[in-house]
Amino acid sequence: MSGSGHIVQKRKLGKSGLEVSAIGFGCMGMTSSYGQPGERREMIALLHRAVDLGVTFFDTAEAYGPFVNEELVGEGLAPVRDQVVIATKFGFTFESDTGPMWAGLDSRPEHIRAVAEASLRRLRTDRIDLFYQHRVDPNVPIEDVAGTVGELILAGKVLHFGMSEAAVGTIRRAHAVQPVAALQNEYSLWERVHEREVFPALEELGIGLVAYSPLGRGFLTGAMAAGTRFDSKDFRSGLPRFAPDAIAANQALIEVLRGLATAKGATPAQIALAWLLAQKPWIVPIPGTTKLARLEENLGAAALTLTPADVSEINAALARVPVEGARYPEYLQQLTNR
């Protein structure tokens, strides 16, 4: 790893002082959820290449695998640990190391502390830069969660506190106990529900937004056609928005993106990411990939500047194309906005 050829500028996540590359790397798909996982040696080489290209922000979680994603990220980033920001998450419980992604929610203080210790071991590090509550646990007061992470911060084991898919009231209550550096929510051209209520609150409180699935779980790259089908091991096979009828209907959105991309000499994925970066200076998308060409394409979006007129044009075009299909089935939707 030469560390040369940096192309990605930096952004600050709200007022926390946490500075990261304007485009981060979501690592989940390297080990699970999107069909066949990547070969370990290749995934480590990809992490190294991301660092070479200026990525300093890497996102993992104990739930990804479970556990194997943190181990991969820990091994891959150990040689450059002091150059990167590693985010991981707590809040789920698992039936076994090889079982399903998660079995239930658990944000009890003792569980948070145990997860922190286990994650530190797997990540081969002495501190977690950003520690998110993966989903809000309705059985544990958010003040207790924030206070527990605050204690881990005082102990030097965690540097910043994050939340994911939390409602504005919950974010406010947590932030009053321990400042929240970042909220990680799904946000993209086809998932904009947070703009109305969540964004004004984040702006007011000085909290950054980390946008997961910024490419619509791959859909916004334009790589899926009406006939695309998914392996049963692929998380998307169970999502309403990826049902055959929805994929066919949502091609209209891709046509809009293709037209804009052609005009800009870019790809649909780059337009989707550049649009996101143009929304607010405190938003950082974390697209994931297992392919070097896709990594380079994604990072190229950071150099693509959209004017306010471009953004208006995109928004107007999107307004004419309704998105078909819910983003989650009901049982997963219940875990959001609490």
Identify the helix (H) or strand (E) that includes residue 20. Answer: strand 19-21
Which residue from 183, 173, 167 is spatially nearest to 143, judged by alpha carbons?
A: 173
Whole-angstrom distance, CA of residue 65 vs CA of residue 97? 8
Residue 152 carries which side chain, given as an amino acid letter? Answer: L
SS3 label, residue 196: coil
For the chain (length 338 residues), average pLDDT per consecutive 10?
60 97 97 80 97 98 94 98 98 77 89 98 98 98 98 98 98 98 97 96 98 96 90 88 92 92 96 97 97 96 93 91 91 91
The number of CA neighbours under 13 Å toward the Cβ of 238 is 13
Q: Select which of 64, 132, 187, 212 is catalytic.
A: 64
- At residue 286, the pLDDT reads 98
Q: Model's pTM, two decimal places?
A: 0.95
For residue 143, list its beta bridge partners: none
Structure tokens at 208: 């950054």
- Specify whether 64 is catalytic: yes
Asked if omega into 141 is within 30° of 0 (cis), the reply is no
Tell me the CA distances in angstroms from 127 to 4, 54, 154, 155, 208, one per residue in order.
26, 21, 11, 10, 20
Which CATH number does 10-216+276-304 carry?
Answer: 3.20.20.100
Structure tokens at 279: 């929304």
Domain ranges of the chain: 10-216+276-304
Structure tokens at 15: 């007022």
Number of Cβ atoms within 10 Å of the Cβ of 336: 17
- At residue 4, the pLDDT reads 39
Which residue from 75, 34, 16 is spatially nearest to 234, judged by alpha carbons?
A: 34
Size (the chain), residues: 338
Whole-angstrom distance, CA of residue 87 vs CA of residue 224? 30
Number of Cβ atoms within 10 Å of the Cβ of 127: 17
Which residue from 92, 95, 97 is spatially nearest to 132, judged by alpha carbons?
A: 92
